[in-house]
Structure 1
Amino acid sequence: MSHITVDQIEQARKRIASTIHPTPVVPSDTLSALCDTSVYLKLEHQQRTGSFKLRGATNAVLSLSEDERARGVVGVSTGNHGRGLAYAARQNGVKCIICMSNLVPQNKIDGIRAQGAEVRIIGQSQDDAQIEVDRLVAEEGMTMIPPFDHPDIIAGQGTVGLESAEAVPELQMALVQVSGGGLISGVAAALRSRIPGIHIIGVSMERGAAMHTCLKAGKPIFVEEKATLADSLGGGIGLDNAYTFPMTRDLVDEIVLVSETEIAQAIRHAYWKESQIIEGSGAVTLAALLSDKVRPTGPALALLSGGNIDMSLHHRIISGENVDVTEQD
């Protein structure tokens, strides 16, 4: 069975209730006026550790056996999963090692270390970092908790969808970030169980949009990871993907890609018009609306998934500077 059920998502909500907090859903006057229909923002960047990733990581850690807890957990991350996993592990007295590539911004590395986890920097991609994860599992008996393609991770992320549907039951459209697919798989499963006719749009960046490329190919394939303002959406979906590829394929209506310029504009909009500080990955849903690539005809929700942006970079962007993080390619 490659699909996670709403029952699993409901069980996850009960399991993680004492760690995470439900995040607000608020109307956006500016986007509602722009789109000529009600647009709501799900402020998940206000979650503990600054992103939705805490939900899945907590659900996975709390689902471990006593023996697995004793041997510790390891994961590969572009930042937010590592931060969430490190937090969940520390809360439960579990050793945690996070493996990351050189593409991960320093502020995200520092954020993980601040949660008490060991960080190991390996290579130029998540695939490079995964090699060290595999070694730790094989040689030290640690349990790998992957960032997206895992039932407990997907079920935990799906709790965002339950909260969204309960806050705005009349929703006709939801815009959700898509990278490895853990978030959109869980959210789509939850939303479709509550609002069967809802239109679900995945949003990613143009540079290295792994799930989009794999869906076009009809199967998981290797996709080069590239520098982008939406750094948390970087990385492949895994050639042996078992859950998020089929769930995204079956539950998501379309995927829209946004440019680096559009992502920067969305970060500016979030700050100046919505009073929200969000990172590039959290801003892609706003970018899809602001660029008119998505035009809702009824009540719509845009998920703001993370806020862990380097504040000096944020300052440059909101001040109008043309920040090009792609120059290192």
Structure 2
Amino acid sequence: MKLETRQTTGSFKLRGVSNTLLLSGQTAKGFVAASTGNHARALAYAAQQMGKPCVVCMSKLVPENKISAVRALGADIKIVGSSQDDAQQEVDRLVLSEGFLPVPPFDDKRVIAGQGTIALEILEDRPEVDTLLVPLSGGGLAGGVAMAAKSVKPSIRVIGVSMEKGAAMAASLQAGKPVVVTEEPTLADSLGGGIGIPNHYTFNLCQTYLDDIILLTEEEISAGISHAYWQEQKIVEGAGAVGIAALLAGKVRPSGTVAVVVSGRNIDMALHQKLVSEYQKI
């Protein structure tokens, strides 16, 4: 398991955000982004470290625990609409009106490169890995990891894992082009949102480098969260648990060494307690 849960802000997102701000943020007036939670948390933290203002636009589907955590880091939160696309429209307005630097959550070269460092670290530590399971949302993580992994080890198999409810990248790849998908409530809330139309980088990366995509039911994701807690003593959010869940459900049957990217821990703890308690009773 590649435990991105141990990052300062609880998820892998700090990699891409830090890379972007180091490369482009020194002269910026401030920063703005749309996010389902973890990207916002990373951006708020990094902006605070630089002493610059940060505005985060979120839809009303984002869980309250993630909103509170971002606000606690000093970001100005704007709740806009019912989807990531609605929130992005407010970002675009703020870029024009306030002159803030936009920090995209996934479809950006600097962000993708930052996320790809995960694959380099995995293969440095465990070069024998044959299969990588990576959470799939907008494709910054999955696309960056897959491209980096295959640049080091072309034979490695990289599988993107998402939820059945509103998996925008999976639907887009099936359609052969970016498409709009209705965003729905899910335990894997960090994987929600569209991939952007047009999409500049991540659709092509996922189309080129991912070997397969697996979609999970809410019950399977819940089992992944609970297994991580009871068997691995790890607190993992739904999006972070999808690789574990895919193995538990038998939807991946690898023959060699498998690495699972456990992407984040930022779950509402009352929900976590409910899920793991119910799982223990089964």
**TM-score interval w.r.t. the shorter chain?**
over 0.9
Query: SS of the residue aligned with 1:186?
Result: helix
The answer to whether structure 1 residue 96 and structure 2 residue 54 are counterparts is yes
**Helix, strand or coil at the partner of 2:215:** strand
Q: What does residue 8 of structure 1 align with?
A: none
In the TM superposition, what is the alpha-carbon distance from 1:250 to its structure 2 partner?
0.2
- Give the distance between the partners of 1:233 and 1:50, measured in 2 at CA: 15
Paired residue type of 1:98: V
| Contact 2:60 2:82 (8 Å CA) reproduced | yes
Q: In the alignment, which residue of structure 2 is the partner of 1:106? A: 64
Contact 1:171 1:195 in 2 (8 A): no
Pairing 1:145–2:99 present: no
Match of 1:119, SS? strand
Separation in 1, partners of 2:250, 2:241: 14
Out of 145, 149, 166, the residue aligned to residue 187 of structure 1 is 145
Count of matched residue positions in the alignment of Structure 1 and Structure 2: 280
Alignment of 1:257 with 2:215, yes or no, is yes
CA distance in structure 2 between the partners assigned to 1:223 and 1:53 by the alignment: 23
Distance 1:74 1:289, change over 3 A: same
Decide whether the 8 Å contact of 1:73 with 1:97 is kept in 2: yes
Residue deviations 1:240-292 (CA, integer Å, cap 9, x gap): 10100000000000100010000001111000001100000001111110000
User: d(CA) in 2 for partners of 1:65 and 1:173?
Assistant: 35
Deviation per residue, 1:13-67 (Å, 9 max, x gap): xxxxxxxxxxxxxxxxxxxxxxxxxxxx111111110000000011111111543
Residue 47 (structure 1) aligned with residue 10 (structure 2) = no
Q: 2:236 corresponds to which residue?
A: 278
Quick one: which of 191, 194, 202 aligns to 1:233?
191
1:319 to 265, 277, 281: 277
What is the deviation of 1:119?
A: 0.6
CA shift for structure 1 position 185: 1.1
* Moved segments of 4+, more than 2 Å: none
Asked if 1:304 is matched to 2:271, the reply is no
Query: Is the Cα–Cα contact under 8 Å of residues 226 and 279 in structure 2 kept in the other structure?
Result: no
* Amino acid across the alignment from 1:106: E
**TM-score between both structures, scaled by the size of structure 2:** 0.97
- Structure 2 residue matching 1:49: 3-state secondary structure: coil
Structure 1: give runs of 5+ residues left out of the alignment.
1-40, 323-329
CA distance in 1, matches of 2:50, 2:16: 15
CA separation of 1:131 and 1:172: change in aligned 2, threshold 3 A? same
* Residues 25, 101 of structure 2: 8 Å contact kept: no
Between the aligned partners of 1:246 and 1:104, the Cα distance in structure 2 is: 27
Q: What is the one-letter code of the residue matched to 1:149? A: D
- The Cα shift of 1:84 comes to 0.4
Show CA shifts across 1:202-242 (max 9, x none): 00000001000000110001111000000000000001101
Whichever residue aligns with residue 134 of structure 2, its letter is V
Q: CA separation in 2, counterparts of 1:107 and 1:228?
A: 15
The amino acid of 1:84's aligned partner reads A
Deviation string, structure 1 residues 273-323 (Cα, Å, up to 9, x no partner):
01100000001111110000000100011110000001010000000169x
What is the Cα deviation at residue 98 of structure 1? 0.3
**1:84-140 superposed Cα distances (whole Å, 9 cap, x missing partner):** 011111111221100000000000001111111111101111111111111101111
Question: 2:154 matched to which residue of 1?
Answer: 196
Question: Partners of 2:22 and 2:51 in 1: how far apart?
Answer: 11
Mapped to 2, the partners of 1:321 and 1:109 lie a distance apart of: 27
Contact 2:223 2:279 in 1 (8 A): no
Q: How does 1:64-75 map to 2 (within 5 A)?
A: 64=24, 66-67=26-27, 69=28, 71-75=29-33
State the distance in 1 between where 2:206 and 2:35 align. 20
Please provide the CA RMSD for this pair.
Answer: 1.1
Amino acid at match of 1:127: D
For residues 102 and 24 of structure 2, the distance between their equivalents in structure 1, rounded to whole angstroms, comes to 11
From 34, 38, 59, the counterpart of 2:19: 59
SS class of match (1:63):
helix
Identity between Structure 1 and Structure 2 (%) = 56
